Chains A and B, each alone.
Chain A
Amino acid sequence: MPLLFSPSSARRRVLPNQWDLIAFAAIMAILTAVAQSYHGISAPLPAANEPVVSLDYWNLPYYALRTALRMFAALFFSLVFTFTYATLAAKSRRAEMVLIPILDILQSVPILGFLSFTVTFFLGLFPGNTLGAELAAIFAIFTSQAWNMAFSLYQSLRTVPPDLDEVARGFRLTGWQKFWQLEAPFAMPGLIWNTMMSMSGGWFFVVASEAITVGDTTITLPGVGSYIAKANDEGNWWAIGAAVLTMAIVILLYDQLLFRPIVAWADKFKVELSESEVTGSSWMLNLLQRTYWVRLAARPVFEALRSISLLPIHIPRMLQARRGKVEQQPSRIVDALWILIVVAVAAWAIWLTVQYIATEVGWDEVIHVFVLTFYTLIRVLVLIFLASIIWVPISVWIGLRPRWAEAVQPIAQFLAAFPVNLLFGATVSIILAFNLNTNIWLSFLIIFGTQWYIVFNVIGGAAAFPNDLREAATNFRVHGWQWWKQVMLPGIAPYYLTGAITASGGSWNASIVAEYVKWKDHTVEAQGVGAYIAEATEKGDFPKIVLGVAMMSIFVTLLNRLFWRQLYAYSERRLRL
């Protein structure tokens, strides 16, 4: 599921608010500008050459390949972004002042809502060509991974162990050498883990972005996502079943052939010098490492890479790490000037956004959207609460039994990657059959994919719960409610919160898909900002999309800052074992 808020960023201190405001304004202004530039194009874009997606099962492997390749491309761009953006933020103090708050806000923007803009933007770049649509899909996946990854790298770069830093400086490594010998390897485990976790979000986005209708432009890219969309349109249960199976296989292959080996390999970059108790293992990596020929072929490649990483390339002074130069005070005048420029740009951006919303939609609409967002907020919180009540006891039970935990944890991770669109048919059928209240029953789609984050985090927490504490509790005959309240719940709290925060972020994004559901020719919708955005997207009503997304971003940001992050900080301080 998409992560609107990563646990790694929760560990950071709460940032100064004026920067958030500035970042928020800047992002909204850019998106507004994109929307306006679209309006500037008078002639409607020609519909892309519509490749007809067929529900024939034999096409599925090909579609799966196309989808997987999109994921790869997005991964590549995410890495490029991560290494430039995060490095710049970590190395330049002035850049950091602007870049990090922007990143923090970007995490909270439900980018799925902006799919319509990005699609039209990329189509405009390559008119009459599917490349534009491809890029739009790739960009959507990119947005589900890049922020998380950049945060992870930034944090690692800021926490390089001081003794290793001294070694690097003592050996007079140049900026380039130091980056590849020390900083990048140090950041590796965190970055890879984050990449793997955001991959789940990627599956959700790729499915959502392969088949999309913006106003009168319909994009269909060959892939599993558009296969699902077509199956939903036609109400074909068998095709849905085939898509489920295909997704399962693709996700499994990605996991086993790509991520498990890399995670296992990245174990050697961990700095704790003790043999860690949980070492990931991968049959694929073992296979590769034990094959003589592969190793022989890989060696010159690794040697060449090592030589390149040791080239004495000097990095401009501006980008040198700041540590060890504490005494050197930065120029206050330049600082003041810099802040002045940033504030001026932000003020202009706020004015632009406010004016756009005021002229295009009016303030009544703003209030209306505020109420809708409030509904979605309640929906998200209630569902997280319900999911917690149900899943926490079950997950604790599983986590305390190592065999079960081992079997269930990967399944939960796997379920988290499952696109919710696959359930549209079942949901709509049930709702129509029993004439249920959509405002209540559609809500469960929001939590469908995100609840698993709670499950596998709590299982992890319960499994890591110290045995001596359990024995002590048994010994003193602590049981029943007291056992939950004083022993287990505090013990798993940091893990639970990591899961709940991730689930909350994902749920906001999912609401855009899950509050407005189509199956055959039935449309079922719930009242909420998600449905508002989805409907506006379908109609191509850009001002309304801007308004909806902006409102949702504000809510998400505030919820994260005022609620989740405070809770998380408290649990880290008091309850971390």
Chain B
Amino acid sequence: MLDTSVATLLTVDKVSQSFTTGSGETRKLVLDQVSMSLKTGEIVALLGRSGCGKSTLLRIISGLITPSDGSVTISGEPVTGPAKDVAMVFQSFALFPWLDVLDNVEIGPRAIGVPLEETRQRALKAIDTIGLDGFESAYPKELSGGMRQRVGFARALVMQPKILLMDEPFSALDVLTAETLRTDLLDLWQEGRMPIKSILMVTHNIEEAVLMSDRILVLSSNPGRIASEIPVTIAQPRDRLDPPFRALVDQIYALMTQRAETTRVAQPAAAGLALPLPDISTNSLAGMLEEIAAPPYNGKADLPHLADSLGFEIDDLFPLGETLQILKLVDFEEADIKLTPLGQRFVDMDVDQRKKVLGEQALANIPLASHIKRVLDERPSHRAPASRFREELEDYMSEDYADRTLRTVINLGRYGELFAYDEAAQTFSYENPE
């Protein structure tokens, strides 16, 4: 009993977070009853798609956001404001551009009144540990992305936090730099050279999660829930080409597509307009279908491979795949994506036929598209303001999502010649310039 409480650094207990939708009446859940814990000595990855609330969860844990419901405790103490035993590394680095490297690193200890001399000592040590020697007087502007993120790490380490929180720390870096930084961080962690007890990282990169963490928590979207927990037992250092590594990556891909499928199938009929769409261009939809149709895939592709060959991450791949699935042009099978017969035919069509098919499919499968068409048909003027549909959408989703969904439907509608849209007047109509 006593033993577990010492070993458990962080407990998240039934945390929910909701926000008020555009109309101000309904409240939309972002996180739903999320519970998790973090033990001393482990690296845990929170894996999920963009918009699943994983970053919100991280901010709740750090005390930057107060949850609507539930509680967070760190080392037995409830978190009520910005927590003192955690430090965060940001995706955007979030360095103060007007402070040089040393000042950026020193700002935390100085703010809480650590004596100057001790601050300097700790800062120099952190800078040394993270490999920034010689850059003390450089300004962030003068550094490359990788070096900037090292400053981000040094700034967090100098606080000597128990828990290091990382919010997609490598996703703003190029592939090579990100890999170097990951390995350096893992080396430091394994050698115990960092004054921290555990790491909680948020990522949407499946391989990164498998490469670095001891445990992966997969979050589902809308609302965010912990869908599954996957222990990673492969010994460090891990090799991406190792068969067990590949198998685990495939397994997680399959898990995430399956979930996507079940939530999708349940939604459209029941919820009507409440079908959020990602930002998608019609060209990338067609491009993806062509890629799957072409060799080596010939109509059926393994998702991790497809992602690799397109240079995509799941945040790029899944929205495309799901939109195609909604339009009934592809199907998911385990970790595979497969063209439907219609999808197969689509690839061989010319532009006019493609426009027709996409228009028909959008009308049949996207409730918002058919709704707009119906309203335009009903009105004598055959005109309707976009604000009307935006407000309807905001009853079900946040402003951002409503905007994105509307944009995508406008795109599909224009491409499929379902209706015209005047951006300046923000109105839908049937009129196209002659």
Chain A residues packing against B (C-beta within 8 Å): 161, 163-164, 166-167, 169-174, 177, 181-182, 185, 188, 268-271, 273-275, 310, 312, 324, 326-327, 574
Contacts of B62 in A (CB 8 A): 170
A181, A188, A274, A574 — most chain B CB neighbours (10 Å): A181
A269 and B98 in contact, given A166-B59, A324-B65, A574-B424 (Cβ under 8 angstroms): yes
Query: By the criterion CB–CB under 8 Å, are A167 and B424 in contact?
Result: no
Least Cβ–Cβ distance between B202 and chain A, in angstroms? 14
Q: How far is the CB of A517 from chain B (nearest CB, A)?
A: 45
For residue A164, which residues in chain B have a CB less than 8 angstroms away from its CB?
Answer: 94, 96
On whether A181 and B82 interact (CB within 8 A), knowing A273-B141, A312-B113, the answer reads: no
Query: B107 — which chain A residues lie within 8 A by C-beta?
Result: 171, 181
12 sampled A-B residue pairs with Cβ under 8 A: A163-B92, A166-B59, A166-B90, A166-B94, A167-B90, A170-B82, A170-B88, A268-B139, A268-B141, A270-B97, A312-B111, A312-B112
Q: Could you tell me if A172 and B111 are in contact, using CB atoms closer than 8 angstroms?
A: yes
Closest CB of chain B to A337's CB: distance in Å?
22
A398–B19 Cα distance when bound, in Å, is: 52
For the complex formed, measure the closest distance between the CB of B94 and the CB atoms of chain A, giving whole angstroms.
4
Cα A185 to Cα B97 in complex, Å, equals 9
User: Chain B residue with minimal CB distance to A312?
Assistant: B113
Residues of chain A within 8 A of B180, CB atoms compared: none
Contacts of B98 in A (CB 8 A): 185, 188, 268-269
Residues of B within 8 A of A268 (CB): 97-98, 139, 141
Identify which of B19, B63, B94 gathers the most chain A CB atoms within 10 Å of its CB. Answer: B94
B177 at the interface (CB under 8 A from A): no
Check if B110 is an interface residue, CB within 8 A of chain A: yes
Bound complex: CA of A173 vs CA of B111, how far in Å?
6
Using known A-B contacts A163-B94, A166-B59, A185-B96, determine if residue A327 contacts B66 with beta carbons closer than 8 Å: yes
B85 nearest CB across to chain A (Å): 12
- Residues of B in contact with A (beta carbons under 8 Å apart): 19, 59, 62-66, 68, 81-82, 84, 86-88, 90, 92-98, 107-108, 110-113, 139-141, 148, 159, 424
B90 close to A163 (CB less than 8 A)? yes
Which of A177, A188, A270, A273 interacts with B111 by CB under 8 Å?
A: A177
Using CB atoms, name the residue of chain A closest to B66: A327
A169 to B65, CA, bound (A): 10
Known A170-B63, A171-B112, A171-B159; further 13 A-B contacts with Cβ < 8 A: A167-B96, A170-B88, A171-B108, A171-B111, A172-B81, A177-B111, A268-B141, A273-B93, A273-B140, A273-B148, A275-B141, A324-B65, A327-B66
State A167–B104 Cα separation when bound (angstroms).
11
CB atoms of B96 and A181 under 8 A apart: yes
Chain A residues, CB < 8 A from B97: 268-271, 273
B64 and A166 contacting across the interface, CB-CB below 8 Å:
yes
A169: chain B residues at CB < 8 Å are 64, 82
Residues of B within 8 A of A270 (CB): 97
**When chains A and B are docked, how far (Å) is the Cα of A324 from the Cα of B82?**
11
Q: Is A167 touching B94 in the complex (CB atoms < 8 A)? A: yes
For A186, the closest partner residue in chain B by CB is B98
Give the docked Cα–Cα distance between A268 and B90 (Å): 21
CA separation between A326 and B24, bound complex, in Å? Answer: 13
A264 to chain B, nearest CB (A): 14
**Contact present for A310 and B110 (CB under 8 Å):** yes
Neighbouring A residues of B93 by C-beta, 8 Å: 273
In the complex, the number of residue pairs spanning A and B with C-beta atoms less than 8 Å apart equals 72
Q: A185-B96, A268-B97 are in contact. Are A166 and B88 (CB under 8 A)?
A: yes
What is the chain A residue whose CB lies nearest that of B116? A307
Which residues of A are found within 8 Å of B66, using beta-carbon distances? 327
Q: Which B residues touch A324, using CB under 8 A? A: 64-65
Among residues of A, the one whose C-beta sits closest to the C-beta of B424 is A574
Are A172's CB and B112's CB within 8 A? Answer: yes
B59 and chain A: residue at smallest CB distance:
A166
For the complex of A and B, list the 3 residue pairs with the smallest distance between their C-beta atoms, beginning with the closest.
Answer: A163-B94, A185-B98, A171-B108
> Are B65 and A172 in contact, with the CB atoms below 8 A?
no
The docked-state distance in angstroms from the alpha carbon of A161 to that of B98 is 14
* A310 and B111 contact, Cβ closer than 8 Å, known pairs A169-B64, A170-B88, A324-B64: yes
Complex CA distance for A271 and B141, rounded to whole angstroms: 9
B84 and A172 contacting across the interface, CB-CB below 8 Å: yes
Q: How far is the CB of B426 from chain A (nearest CB, A)?
A: 11
Q: For B64, what are the chain A residues with a Cβ–Cβ distance below 8 Å?
A: 166, 169-170, 324
Give the chain B neighbours of A163 by CB distance below 8 A: 90, 92, 94
**Closest chain A residue to B423 by CB distance?**
A574
Q: Which residues of chain A have C-beta atoms less than 8 A from B90's C-beta? A: 163, 166-167
Q: Which residues of A contact B110 (CB under 8 A)?
A: 310
Expressed in whole angstroms, the minimum distance between the Cβ of B57 and any Cβ of chain A is 14
Q: CB-CB < 8 A to A310: which residues of B?
A: 110-111
Quote the shortest CB–CB distance from B166 to chain A (angstroms): 13
Q: Which residues of B contact A181 (CB under 8 A)?
A: 96, 107, 111
Residue on A nearest B18 in the bound complex, by CB: A327
Give the shortest distance, in Å, between A319 (CB) and chain B (any CB). 17
**Least Cβ–Cβ distance between B96 and chain A, in angstroms:** 7
Chain A residue nearest in CB terms to B92: A163
Complex Cα–Cα for A166 and B59 (A): 9
A311: nearest chain-B partner, CB-CB:
B113
- Select which of A161, A166, A327 is within 8 A of B68 by beta carbon: A327
Specify which chain A residues have a CB less than 8 angstroms from the CB of B92 in the assembled complex: 163
Cα(A327)–Cα(B30), bound, Å: 14
Bound Cα distance from A185 to B95, whole angstroms: 13
Name which of B86, B95, B159 has the most chain A CB atoms within 10 A of its CB: B95
Of all chain A residues, which has the CB nearest B165? A170
Measured CB to CB, the closest approach of chain B to A280, in angstroms, equals 15
Residues in B with CB closer than 8 Å to A273 are 93, 95, 97, 140-141, 148
Cα distance, A153 to B191, chains bound together (Å): 48
**Chain B residues whose C-beta falls within 8 Å of the C-beta of A275 in the assembled complex:** 141
CA distance A399 to B64 in the complex (A): 48
Nearest CB in chain A: distance from B155 CB, A? 8
Q: Which of B63, B110, B113, B140 has the most CB of A within 10 A?
A: B110
Complex CA–CA separation, A485 to B141 (angstroms):
39
When distances are taken between beta carbons in the complex, the residues of chain A under 8 Å from B63 are 170
CA distance A72 to B87 in the complex (A): 44
List residues of chain B with CB within 8 A of the CB of A171: 82, 107-108, 111-112, 159
Q: How far is the CA of A167 from the CA of B90 in the complex (A)?
A: 9
* Contact partners of A166 in chain B: CB under 8 A: 59, 64, 88, 90, 94
What residues on B are CB-neighbors of A177 within 8 Å? 111
- Which residue of chain B has its CB nearest to the CB of A167? B94
Tell me, in angstroms, the Cα distance from A188 to B97 when the chains sit together.
12
In whole angstroms, what is the CA distance A39 to B97 when docked?
55
Give the residues in chain A near B112, CB-CB below 8 Å: 171-172, 312
- Residues on the A chain within 8 Å of B84, using CB: 172
A170 to B66 Cα, complex, angstroms? 13
Query: What B residues does A574 contact at CB under 8 A?
Result: 424
Residues of B within 8 A of A174 (CB): 111
Q: In the assembled complex, how far is the CB of residue B236 from the closest CB belonging to chain A, in whole angstroms?
A: 29
Residues of A within 8 A of B88 (CB): 166-167, 170
Chain A's closest residue to B90 (CB) is: A163
Tell me, rounded to whole Å, the shortest Cβ–Cβ distance linking B357 to chain A.
33
Cβ distance A216 to chain B, nearest Cβ, rounded Å: 54
Complex-state Cα separation, A312 to B110, whole angstroms: 9
Q: How far is the CA of A310 from the CA of B109 in the complex (A)?
A: 10
Bound together, the chains give a CA A268 to CA B66 distance in angstroms of 34
Instruction: Find chain A residues with CB under 8 A from B159 CB.
Output: 171
Rounded to whole angstroms, the CA-CA distance of A271 and B111 in the bound complex is 21
A497 to chain B, nearest CB (A): 17
Q: Which residues of A contact B87 (CB under 8 A)?
A: 170
Shortest Cβ distance from residue B356 to the other chain A in the assembled complex, whole angstroms? 31
Closest to A174 in B: B111
Contacts of A161 in B (CB 8 A): 94
